[in-house]
C-alpha cells in the first residue's frame, strides 16, 4: 500500500510537471515573440449602416510563430493574461496601432481610425494612460483616430480605478467603446457613470437575431438604451444579409463582421480604402 501510494504521488507530480513545463515553454516563446517582432495586427472594418462607408478598423492580434503558422488569440491570449505578459503585449499593440495610423496618415492613405482591445490588467498593472499618450505623441497622430475597446466584464472589476483612467483618456481625445456588451448584466444606471462613446453588442446576440425573439428583444433594448444615453451602437459578428437588414431597419449605427470583411493585414486595409469598398 505504501509503495502504490508513493507511485500515485509520483504519477501526479510527473503530470503536473508536464503541464508546468508546457506552460513555461509557452511563456518563454511568448516573451521571445515580443522581443523578436513575431506579433502582427490584422484589421477588420467597421461600417456605417447609413452611409455604407468604412468608419474605421478594429486591430486584432496575431502571432506569426515560426514553425506553427499564424496563431489566433484563442491560442495564446489566455497564457498572456495568466502570466501578466498581456500588459507588455498590450503596450506593444497600442504602439503598433499608432505607428500604423501615422504611416497611413503620412503615406497618402489619409486618416484611418483604429480600435485596439485593452485587457483589464492594463488598467491595474500597466501605465495605460502613459502608454496611450506617449504612442500618440511619438507618432504625431490625432488622438481621435485611436479608440480603445474594453470588455463589459473587465469594466465591472476595479471600477473606480478604471473609470478614473478612462476619464483622463477621454479628456486626451481618445474614443472609448464597451466590448462584448450584453454579457455582463450592466444596468442603464450603471452605464451612465462611464465615460464611454460606443457600445458593441456581443456577437452571441447577433447570431440568431432574425430568428430568436429573445435575442431580437435584447438587441432592440440595447440599441434604444444606447441611443437614449447618446452612445453609438456597433453590432459585431454580422455574417448574413438578413442580419444586416434587420440591424439597419432598427437603427443600429455600425456593423462589423465576415459579411463585409474578415480581419486583414495592413496591406488589405490599403487595398480596401483604395478600392473604396462599401456596403
Ligand atoms: P473581440 O474583441 O470580441 O473580437 C472579435 C472577434 O470576432 C475576432 O476574433 C474577430 O476575428 C471575430 N469575428 C469578426 N467578425 C466575425 C463574424 O462575422 N463571425 C465570427 N464568428 N467571428 C467574427 P479574434 O481575432 O480571434 O479575437 C478573439 C478575441 O481575442 C477578441 O474578441 C479579443 O477579446 C481578443 N483579442 C484580440 N486581439 C487582442 C489584443 O490586442 N489585446 C487583447 N487584450 N485582446 C485581444
Ligand atoms: Ca473587440
Ligand atoms: Ca467583441
Ligand atoms: Ca469576444
Q: Which residues line ligand 1 (CB under 6 A)?
A: 44, 60-61, 72-74, 77, 86, 90, 93, 116-117, 119, 179-180, 236-239, 257-258, 263
> Which residues have a beta carbon within 5 Å of ligand 3, which is an ion?
179-180
Listed as own residue / partner, the contacts of 24-32 with beta carbons closer than 8 Å and 24 or more positions apart are 26/76, 26/79, 27/79, 27/83, 27/85, 29/65, 30/76, 30/79, 30/80, 30/83, 30/85, 30/89, 31/85
pLDDT at position 20: 84
pTM: 0.93
The mean pLDDT value for 133-160 works out to: 94
- Confidence label for 16 from pLDDT (cuts 50, 70 and 90): low
Task: Tell me the pLDDT tens digit for each residue of 239-251.
Answer: 999 999 999 999 9
pLDDT at position 22: 85
> What are the respective helix, strand and coil percentages of the chain, to the nearest 5?
50, 20, 30
- Confidence label for 12 from pLDDT (cuts 50, 70 and 90): low
Chain position carrying cell 481625445: 173
The mean pLDDT value for 28-38 works out to: 97
Complex-level ipTM? 0.98
Q: Are 259 and 240 in contact (CB under 8 A)?
A: yes
Which residues partner with 150 through β-bridges?
A: 118, 178
60 pLDDT higher than 80: yes
Task: Tell me the pLDDT tens digit for each residue of 112-130.
Answer: 999 999 999 999 998 999 9
8 pLDDT higher than 70: no
Counting ligand 1 atoms within 8 A of each CB, the residue from 30, 46, 60, 85 with the most, and so the one to mutate, is 60
Residue nearest (by alpha carbon) to ligand 1 atom 37: 60
pLDDT at position 93: 98
Of 31-40, 141-150, 181-190, 226-235, give the lowest mean pLDDT range: 181-190
- Confidence label for 49 from pLDDT (cuts 50, 70 and 90): very high
What percent of the chain lies above the pLDDT cut of 70?
94
Amino acid at each position: 500500500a505504501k509503495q502504490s501510494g508513493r507511485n500515485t504521488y509520483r504519477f501526479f507530480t510527473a503530470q503536473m510537471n508536464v503541464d508546468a513545463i508546457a506552460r513555461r515553454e509557452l511563456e518563454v516563446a511568448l516573451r521571445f515573440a515580443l522581443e523578436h517582432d513575431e506579433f502582427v495586427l490584422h484589421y477588420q472594418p467597421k461600417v456605417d449602416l447609413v452611409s455604407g462607408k468604412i468608419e474605421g478598423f478594429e486591430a486584432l492580434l496575431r502571432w506569426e510563430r515560426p514553425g506553427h503558422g499564424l496563431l489566433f488569440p484563442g491560442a495564446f491570449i489566455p497564457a498572456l493574461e495568466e502570466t501578466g505578459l498581456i500588459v507588455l503585449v498590450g503596450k506593444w499593440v497600442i504602439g503598433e496601432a499608432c505607428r500604423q495610423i501615422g504611416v497611413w496618415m503620412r503615406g497618402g492613405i489619409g486618416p484611418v481610425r483604429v480600435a485596439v482591445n485593452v485587457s483589464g490588467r492594463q488598467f491595474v498593472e500597466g501605465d495605460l494612460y502613459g502608454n496611450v499618450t506617449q504612442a500618440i505623441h511619438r507618432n504625431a497622430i490625432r488622438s481621435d483616430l485611436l479608440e480603445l475597446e474594453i470588455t463589459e466584464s473587465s469594466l465591472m472589476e476595479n471600477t473606480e480605478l478604471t473609470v478614473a483612467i478612462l476619464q483622463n483618456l477621454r479628456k486626451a481625445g481618445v474614443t472609448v467603446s464597451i466590448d462584448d456588451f450584453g454579457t455582463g448584466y450592466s444596468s442603464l444606471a450603471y452605464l451612465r457613470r462611464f465615460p464611454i462613446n460606443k457600445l458593441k453588442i456581443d456577437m452571441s446576440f447577433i447570431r440568431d437575431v432574425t430568428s430568436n425573439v429573445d435575442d431580437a428583444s435584447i438587441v432592440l433594448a440595447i440599441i434604444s438604451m444606447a441611443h437614449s444615453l447618446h452612445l453609438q451602437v456597433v453590432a459585431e459578428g454580422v455574417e448574413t444579409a438578413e442580419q444586416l437588414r434587420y440591424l439597419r431597419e432598427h437603427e443600429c449605427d455600425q456593423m462589423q463582421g465576415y459579411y463585409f470583411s474578415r480581419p486583414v493585414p495592413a496591406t488589405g486595409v490599403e487595398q480596401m480604402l483604395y478600392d473604396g469598398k462599401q456596403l
